[in-house]
Amino acid sequence: MPSMTRRTVACALGLALATGGALAQTPATAAGKDWPTKPVRLVIPFPAGGSTDVVGRLIAEKLSQSLGQPVVVDNRAGAGGTTGSDLVAKSAPDGHTFLMGTSSTHAIAPSLYPKLPYAPATDFAPVTLLGTATILMVVHPSVPAKNVTEFVALAKSKPGEMMFGSTGNGSVSHLTAEYFKSVAGVNMQHVPYKGDTPMTLDLVAGRVHVAFGTAVAFLPHVQGGKLNALAVTDAQPSPVAPNVPTVAASGLQGFEALQWFGLLAPANTPPGVVSRMHAEVAKALQLPAVRTKLQGLGMQIVAGGPEQFGSFMRAESTKWGKIVLDSGAKVD
């Protein structure tokens, strides 16, 4: 399976941070100097309170200041993020509607949904990959497993009895769990929710046993002793959870999954607008308060440009397509 580690992402895309200032002076960007002329809508295709929402609202606040127009967050949850994504795909390409896309909406969905209403590769203009986020494998304290090896043994001793929660059918948390099931050779029941918040509430209450999700959603509960972190799905240990081993180092060699967040516009949005938006986001991501907040949530900032983001999404789509095929994952 092709692998896109955090180090690879940083090497391939991090150069854009150094060139963010130059982008603001290009002819393409100059063509968008009079934009925006009205409030900008940022569609979050997941419920309020989840990881995508937290990142999106933070960026929207800073963009509202730098663009001189309000950037209004519009949560349009449903169908693993595809409802809100389809809304943006069909919006006017006038530079006033953008999407917070993720692994779920633009890497997993093309292989998982046989009748996806939008084409991720052609219906959107990539703007920037904001960054990647640590995914934690956590269990409720009632689960008698202190590490991945013990959890796999427990799940094998109770085939079909362990229940895993996800943020929805087709979400990265869903497919990461399916990937884990396939590699570990275990059978678990899927319980989909509509976003991070309801899934986490049921996980903390012990209604589901295990879940894969972002540090944004899980770390406060791990630190509070309400959940136990067994592993991270990064290729290397995560700075936000340095004492938590990787799944790969816990016996499932080669296992790696990343959550990522990116900004996209409808296809045919003026290049000048795309360039300026990328430059403004890159500047926002360099603000000390923003960097501290995002890094504290387990996110590695990238801020890659449109071309690099497009290439990254194609590689991720190939990787997750293979995971969907190998795992036999279906939309429930």
Domains 6-133+257-327 and 135-250 equal at CATH topology level: yes
pLDDT attached to residue 95: 98
pLDDT attached to residue 161: 97
Indicate whether 66 pLDDT > 90.
Answer: yes
Domain ranges of the chain: 6-133+257-327, 135-250
CATH of domain 6-133+257-327: 3.40.190.150
Indicate whether 33 pLDDT > 70.
Answer: yes
**Cα separation of 270 and 93, whole Å?**
7
Fold classified for 135-250: D-Maltodextrin-Binding Protein; domain 2 (3.40.190)
Q: Which is nearest to 130 in space by CA: 313, 256, 300?
A: 300
Average pLDDT, the chain: 89
pLDDT attached to residue 32: 59
pLDDT attached to residue 17: 41
In which band, very low, low, confident or very high, does the pLDDT at 24 lie, cut at 50, 70 and 90? very low
In which band, very low, low, confident or very high, does the pLDDT at 163 lie, cut at 50, 70 and 90? very high
> In the block, which residue shows the tokens 């090497």?
11
93: CB partners within 8 A, 6+ apart? 125, 265, 266, 267, 268, 269, 270
Listed in sequence order, the DSSP H helices in the chain are: 6-13, 15-23, 27-30, 51-67, 82-89, 103, 109-112, 148-157, 172-184, 196-204, 215-223, 271-285, 288-296, 306-327
pLDDT tens for 70-92 read: 999 999 998 888 999 999 999 99
In which band, very low, low, confident or very high, does the pLDDT at 50 lie, cut at 50, 70 and 90? confident
Indicate whether 22 pLDDT > 80.
Answer: no
